[in-house]
């Protein structure tokens, strides 16, 4: 059998190039969009995922980490009484008003007060022991590299938070989250910055279990100890992180806006790809009509066109994939939050391939509805 | 001689917007095997539509077509495709060759769909291309062939299937005198030596003198039907 689809593609690659590029750009747009959506919204859970805690105890019903409110001390006691609990660590979360250099005005910040021990759970993945130790300096803070410009300061710079002088003792990476600038301090410093508003109460207790696999069971048990009127809520690391992402994705206008944009990108990509592929296929419509006149069935012609669409889709995916990799790499360098996992890449690939194949089918339909007597001249 | 193609009271009209155009009006003909039959007439007289209906590409609004003993109206679309695949060849004014394929691949392509293996298809394609005088041009793509050569590739493509029915729609209109003559002779030879029924529609007057039979058509009807006197060996 003569490999018509492949030979035509190779010989007339210029005709198919626009559709391959359309596929590539659709793939690129979808993937980058997805990477940004997941990057941005996952950054709302960055503190949860980059810490070593198995359970989070916080104010009942807390939807996202930055919405934490002080909870009573007995939450810590309840947790410590559970036989499965290995360690409990307080994590303080307060709002702050940052006043740095005069030309930067005031900046709203979230202050995270953490246990500075080398094996502390909070930010275990992003703050190495030596950096944590620097927080033992009274009024020392760590800020994210990406926020330095916004704050107008560099390492060693001084500012005022909630009326207290602080000094940047370290610069971290990966602390950036949604909703504002995040600065990290020791628990003691955070209490000073709080001006006593929380009466010594902290917003969260994070819990290390003896067996992380028991997280769901222990969470349910601790929650029961908080009833009948819940004084605190308990979530596993995964559940709390998901809560934060869903809150930002669906409960805020920003999230819905980005999702809407992703849908628009998909539709635009689909339309452009199908139009270019259909016109590429339509360029051979007389030849296909001749084959059909000679008795080659629509089913067999469809196979030829679909094979072409699949090759175009595959080529476009490779180009789009490489372009996406470059964009994501650039974004990482610039501290833009992007995140892609295999499932997202596979979903985008299936969508893009689906666009290509459906466009091929649509092109075959134009052949089926054409009048052979007019086509065959 | 028995008729290979029989059409009885064919009607066909096309509707474009609010305008209805009758293309065929109660047309009946019988076409016998082993002859080159020409349907001639002015543009728009319905010749191409008649050819499309007789070859099973188009269904008539009324009337019947019997081709090689099959009532085409009774065949389902897939059966019609099979019928065309096994029994018919086509040659068109526009050649309609795939730019990506060499001459021999153009001819081999439909043979593959007939179920022939590559080796058999290649042999048959070579014989067909030699028959139309393109033995030395088999590896060339359409861009490297002249108009006449392209048309001969198209004829070889139809011929290699060894069809009993060969339909040609204006096969010479895009060709100069010499190439037109070669194409006409080839079509005629196919009718004579292969015993095929060759139906050609054209308004090219050169074809008239080389046909065995000429049907003059106008306004969807056959106006005259005459046999030409020409030597059998031509």
**What pLDDT sits at residue A179?**
63
Residues of chain B with Cβ-Cβ distance to A298 below 8 Å are: 81
Dump the DSSP string for B139-165.
Answer: T--GGGS-HHHHHHHHHHHHHTT--SE
Contact call for residues A170 and A134 (beta carbons, < 8 A)? yes
Q: Is B62 on the interface with A (CB under 8 A)?
A: no
CB of A128 within 8 Å of a chain B CB? The answer is no
Q: Does an H or E element contain A143, and which?
A: strand A140-144
Q: Which residue has the tokens 């349910």?
A: A220
DSSP category for residue B17: T
**Measured between CB atoms, which of A1, A294, A377 is closest to B85?**
A294
| Cβ-contact A246, A325 below 8 angstroms | no
Contact at CB, B83 and A287, closer than 8 angstroms: no
Q: Answer whether A2 sits within 8 Å of B158, measured CB to CB.
A: no
Q: Which residues of B touch A293 (CB under 8 A)?
A: 55, 57, 84, 88, 90
Whether the Cβ atoms of residue B217 and residue B226 lie closer than 8 Å to each other? no
Q: Is A295 in Cβ contact with B84 (below 8 Å)?
A: yes
Whether B157 contacts chain A with CB within 8 A? yes
pLDDT lower than 70: segments of chain A? 177-179, 196, 369-377
Q: Which chain B residues are within 8 Å of A4, Cβ to Cβ?
A: 98, 100-101, 109
Does B169 reach chain A within 8 Å, measured CB to CB?
yes
pLDDT of residue B125: 96
Identify the pLDDT of residue A336. Answer: 80
Q: Among B90, B109, B141, select the one facing A2 at the smallest CB separation.
A: B109
pLDDT of residue B234: 40
Question: Which of A11, A15, A290 to mutate to test binding with chain B, by most B CBs within 10 Å of its CB?
Answer: A290
Does B143 contact chain A (CB < 8 Å)? no
Residue pointed to by tokens 């995922």: A49
Do B83 and A295 make contact, defined as CB atoms within 8 angstroms?
A: yes
Q: Give every strand in the sheet of B19-32, ordered side by side.
A: B19-32, B3-16, B62-67, B70-71
Give the chain B residue whose CA is nearest to the CA of A291: B110
Minimal Cβ distance to B101: which of A1, A7, A294: A7
Among A2, A10, A284, whose Cβ lies nearest the Cβ of B112? A2
Predicted pLDDT of residue A178? 64
Q: Between residues 9 and 38 of chain B, which touch chain A (CB distance below 8 Å)?
A: none
Q: Report yes or no: A168 and A142 within 8 Å, Cβ to Cβ.
A: yes
CA distances from B47 to A117, A123, A272, B27, B52 (A): 94, 83, 40, 11, 9
The whole-number pLDDT of residue A372 equals: 63
User: A290, B58: Cβ pair inside 8 Å?
Assistant: no
Rounded to whole angstroms, the Cα distance separating B203 from B172 reads: 9
Three-class SS state of B175: coil
Across the interface, do A286 and B96 touch by the CB < 8 Å criterion? Answer: yes
Residue B150's pLDDT is 93
Q: Give the model's pLDDT for residue A370.
A: 63
Q: Which residues of A touch B86 (CB under 8 A)?
A: 295
Distance CA A51, CA A124 (A): 5
Residuewise pLDDT in 10s, chain B (234 residues):
578 999 999 999 988 888 988 999 999 999 998 899 999 988 888 888 899 999 988 899 999 999 999 999 999 989 999 999 999 999 988 888 999 999 999 999 999 999 999 999 999 999 999 999 999 999 999 999 998 899 999 999 999 999 999 999 989 888 888 888 888 888 888 898 888 999 999 988 888 888 899 999 998 899 999 988 655 444
- Residue A377: what pLDDT? 59
* pLDDT score, position A10: 92
Q: Verify cis geometry, omega within 30 degrees of 0, for the bond prior to A270.
A: no
Question: CB contact, 8 Å: A369 with chain B?
Answer: no
């Amino acid at each position: 059998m003569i490999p018509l689809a492949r030979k035509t593609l190779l010989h007339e690659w210029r005709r198919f190039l626009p559709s391959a590029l359309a596929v590539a750009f659709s793939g690129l747009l979808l993937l980058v969009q997805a990477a940004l959506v997941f990057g941005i919204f996952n950054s709302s859970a960055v503190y949860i995922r980059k810490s070593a805690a198995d359970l989070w105890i916080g104010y009942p019903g807390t939807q996202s980490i930055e919405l934490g409110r002080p909870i009573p001390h007995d939450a810590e006691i309840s947790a410590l009484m559970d036989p499965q609990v290995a360690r409990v660590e307080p994590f303080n979360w307060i709002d702050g008003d940052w006043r740095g250099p005069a030309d930067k005005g005031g900046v709203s910040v979230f202050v995270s007060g953490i246990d500075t021990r080398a094996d502390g759970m909070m930010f275990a993945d992003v703050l190495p022991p030596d950096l944590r130790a620097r927080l033992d300096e009274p009024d020392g803070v760590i800020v994210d590299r990406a926020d330095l410009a916004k704050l107008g300061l560099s390492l060693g710079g001084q500012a005022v938070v909630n009326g207290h002088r602080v000094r940047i003792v370290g610069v971290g990476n990966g602390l950036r989250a949604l909703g504002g600038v995040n600065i990290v301090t020791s628990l003691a410093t955070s209490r000073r910055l709080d001006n006593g508003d929380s009466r010594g109460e902290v917003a969260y207790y994070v819990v290390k279990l003896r067996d992380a696999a028991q997280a769901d069971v222990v969470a349910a048990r601790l929650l029961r100890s908080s009833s009948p009127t819940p004084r605190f809520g308990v979530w596993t690391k995964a559940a709390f992180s998901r809560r934060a992402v869903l809150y930002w994705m669906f409960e805020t206008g920003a999230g819905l806006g980005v999702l809407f944009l992703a849908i628009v990108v998909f539709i635009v990509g689909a339309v452009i790809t199908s139009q270019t592929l259909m016109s590429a296929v339509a360029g051979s419509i007389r030849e296909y009509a001749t084959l059909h006149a000679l008795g080659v069935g629509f089913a067999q012609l469809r196979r030829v066109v679909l094979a072409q669409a699949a090759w175009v889709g595959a080529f476009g995916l490779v180009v789009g994939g490489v372009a996406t990799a470059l964009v994501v790499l650039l974004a990482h360098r610039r501290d833009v939050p992007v995140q892609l996992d295999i499932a997202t890449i596979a979903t985008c690939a299936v969508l893009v391939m689906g666009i290509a194949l459906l466009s091929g089918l649509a092109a075959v339909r134009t052949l089926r509805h054409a009048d052979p007597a007019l086509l065959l001249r | 001689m028995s008729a290979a193609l029989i059409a009885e009271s064919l009607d066909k009209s096309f509707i474009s917007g609010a305008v209805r155009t009758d293309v065929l009006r109660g047309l009946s003909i019988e076409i016998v095997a082993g002859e080159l039959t020409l349907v001639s007439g002015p543009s728009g007289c319905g010749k191409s539509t008649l050819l499309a209906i007789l070859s099973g590409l188009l269904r008539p609004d009324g009337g019947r077509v019997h081709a090689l003993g099959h009532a085409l109206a009774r065949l389902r679309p897939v059966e019609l495709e099979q019928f065309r695949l096994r029994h018919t060849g086509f040659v068109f004014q526009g050649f309609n060759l795939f730019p990506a394929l060499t001459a021999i691949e153009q001819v081999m392509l439909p043979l593959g769909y007939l179920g022939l293996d590559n080796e058999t298809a290649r042999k048959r394609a070579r014989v067909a291309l030699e028959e139309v005088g393109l033995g030395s041009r088999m590896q060339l793509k359409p861009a490297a062939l002249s108009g006449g050569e392209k048309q001969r590739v198209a004829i070889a493509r139809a011929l290699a299937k060894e069809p009993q029915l060969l339909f040609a729609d204006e096969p010479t209109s895009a060709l100069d005198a010499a190439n037109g003559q070669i194409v006409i002779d080839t079509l005629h030879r196919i009718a004579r030596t292969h015993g095929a029924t060759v139906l050609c529609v054209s308004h090219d007057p050169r074809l008239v003198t080389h046909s065995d039979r000429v049907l003059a058509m106008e306004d969807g009807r056959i106006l005259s039907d005459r046999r030409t006197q020409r030597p059998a060996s031509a």
